[in-house]
Structure formats: C-alpha cells, structure tokens
C-alpha cells in the first residue's frame, strides 16, 4: 500500500491511546500523561491507514517565531514509504518553516536538504548579504544580497543579426 492511501488528519485526544501504543512499539518510554501534556501544548497530525494510527508528529510553538518538532514516529511496518517525509513536511508547515536543532552537523545536513529559500543554523547571526525569502511558489521572492536586486530588474533577450 502506498502512502497516498494514508490519511493525514489533525492530532486529537481521540488519537492518544493509539499514539501511546505506537510509541511503545517503537521502544519509547512515553506514558499516556506524557502524550497528553505534549498534545495540550502542541498541534500536530497523525497518519491513519485503515483506521490505524501509523505515524505521528507534534509541533510545539514558543511565542511567534520559534517551534520544536517532536513525537515523530512512523510505524515500523510503514517505514521506507516516504511517510516520515510527509509528516515532516506538514510539521514544517505548522511550524512556519522554522526549526532549531541542537547538533550543528545534523543542522547543516538538514539545511542542505530542505527546499527552503533560507536556512539559519542554530541562532547564527543574520548576514544581510545572504539572500532571504521564498522557494518555488511561495510568492515571497528573494530579499537582501545580490539576489534581492533581481526584484528591481527584468531580463530581456534580444536575438538577431547586426548590420555593419
């Protein structure tokens, strides 16, 4: 069965029992009250296949500009089908595409793989020469650095022969 047949739904208290069971199968020590607290402080989604929760992800926001992604689990029988990627894509949307990682090497590796207009690794000072902005169809364009100048220019190609 492919992941497109899996429903991604809002994580609700009705999913807590299944999430606890999923985390126990994965060897995680989380108790029902741990999941309840995480869900109370967070928002997220579950992946459901045939009325069975096969994946979870929660996003905990801290004020406006910061969030953590947590409780990411994919059932062992579902791994290798890009379900984890789908869950992380939804989590990044919920988080506003902001993510803070503790390990600089993991952050650098993830930053290279993200399809994002800019990646700032673990509170690095902002460099105004670095481009900032959207990616693909985000509609934001680019700001700062030499790429920011493109907003004020238009490219025109003129092809032909000149008479001497």
Domain ranges of the chain: 3-100
**pLDDT of 146:** 62
Q: Tell me what the pLDDT averaged over the chain comes to.
A: 78
- Tell me: the pLDDT tens digits for 42-62? 999 999 999 999 999 999 888
Identify the pLDDT of residue 138.
45
Round to whole Å and give the CA distance between 113 and 27: 28
pLDDT of 35 reads: 94
Tell me whether residue 66 is exposed, middle or buried, using C-beta atoms within 10 angstroms of its C-beta: 0 to 12, 13 to 18, 19 or more. Answer: middle
CA distance 26 to 74: 9
**What predicted TM-score, i.e. pTM, was given to this entire model?**
0.61
So what's the pLDDT on residue 139? Answer: 43
pLDDT of residue 68: 82
Span 3-100 CATH architecture: 3-Layer(aba) Sandwich (3.40)
pLDDT band of 84, cuts 50, 70, 90 = confident
Residue 3 clears pLDDT 50, i.e. is over it: no
SS3 category, 100: coil
Mean pLDDT of the 115-137 span: 58
The C-alpha torsion from 74 through 79 and 81 to 87, rounded to 10°, is: 20
The pLDDT of residue 82 is 85
Distance between CA atoms of residues 129 and 135, nearest Å: 18
């Amino acid at each position: 069965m492919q992941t497109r047949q899996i429903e991604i739904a809002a994580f609700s208290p009705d999913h807590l029992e299944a999430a606890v069971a999923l985390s126990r199968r994965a060897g995680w020590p989380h108790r029902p009250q741990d999941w309840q607290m995480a869900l109370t402080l967070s928002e997220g989604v579950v992946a459901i296949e045939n009325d069975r929760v096969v994946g979870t992800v929660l996003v905990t926001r801290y004020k406006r500009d910061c969030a953590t992604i947590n409780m990411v689990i994919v059932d062992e029988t579902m791994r290798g089908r890009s379900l984890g990627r789908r869950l992380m894509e939804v989590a990044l949307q919920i988080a506003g595409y902001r993510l803070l990682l503790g390990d600089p090497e993991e952050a650098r590796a993830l930053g290279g793989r993200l399809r994002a207009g800019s990646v700032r690794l673990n509170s690095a000072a902002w460099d105004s020469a670095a481009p900032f902005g959207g990616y693909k169809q985000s509609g934001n364009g680019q700001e700062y650095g030499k790429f920011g100048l493109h907003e004020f220019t238009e490219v025109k190609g003129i092809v032909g022969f000149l008479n001497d």
